[in-house]
A = this chain, B = another copy of it.
Amino acid sequence: MRLLIVEDEPRMATALQRGLVAEGFTVEVAFNGPDGLHLARENSYDAIVCDIMLPGLSGYRLIEALRAEQNWVPVLVLSAKDGEYDEADALDLGADDYLVKPFSFVVLLARLRAVLRRGVRPRPAILSCGDLSLDPAARAVRRGETEIELTPREFSLLEYLMRRAGDAVSKADILHHVWDAHYEGDANVIEVYVGYLRRKIDLPFGRHAVQTVRGAGYRLASDGG
């Protein structure tokens, strides 16, 4: 297991390095943001442990830059801040976990192991299919540059379809996940809402992202139509 530590405070960096080496990890250290980004680009790490407050380039920007390059290496963020919105920001930006300083080494180790166990897989904070994108945190949907207004129900329907983009999704599945497990009503609501969605995200753009798979359900084209 090969780790990169990005941490500007020398004592903290050294302590982390020693501890993790003692646990059997191979560890490299960068003391500022740009160096960290450079190392992360050039090498393939199993995980990155990254401070937020960094000279040159903040931890946020570092993660953002990596994710923009489709680099999904697990990142564990360390921060002296304890404002809750910082944490929310980091996770929505694509960090994998978050620790507030001071933290105990045991907790760091446990979280690092949890993060490593999950391994690398693409998980963009913003869902996108072609030029169609949906940001769950911001509750925003856009086709290219055009912002699209959706009602809450329309939004969850699209979110569910986008999370399963490319799959044919049955109406029963949709009813369970977007409406309620015990929803008693007619599955016709889905047809109605699919209609609403199409009128907002497809028709004005001459696209066909939301496809009917007769007898099976619906499918969102993974290329956005």
In the complex, what's the smallest C-beta–C-beta distance from A122 to chain B, in angstroms?
Answer: 9
Counting CB contacts under 8 A, is A148 at the interface?
A: no
Q: How large is the interface on A (under 10, 10 to 19, 20 to 34, 35 or more residues)?
A: 35 or more
Counting CB contacts under 8 A, is A35 at the interface?
A: no
Given contacts A2-B176, A106-B84, A160-B1, contact A92 B113 (CB under 8 A): yes
Counting CB contacts under 8 A, is A167 at the interface?
A: yes
Counting CB contacts under 8 A, is A43 at the interface?
A: yes
Cα–Cα distance between A114 and B46 once the two chains are bound (Å):
19
Counting CB contacts under 8 A, is A109 at the interface?
A: yes
CB pairs A–B below 8 angstroms (29 shown): A1-B159, A1-B177, A2-B181, A24-B155, A24-B156, A24-B159, A26-B176, A26-B178, A26-B179, A26-B180, A28-B181, A43-B181, A85-B106, A88-B106, A88-B109, A91-B111, A92-B113, A96-B118, A113-B136, A119-B163, A138-B168, A139-B168, A139-B213, A140-B168, A151-B214, A151-B215, A152-B215, A152-B216, A155-B216
6 tightest A-B contacts by CB? A152-B215, A88-B110, A139-B168, A91-B114, A91-B110, A117-B123
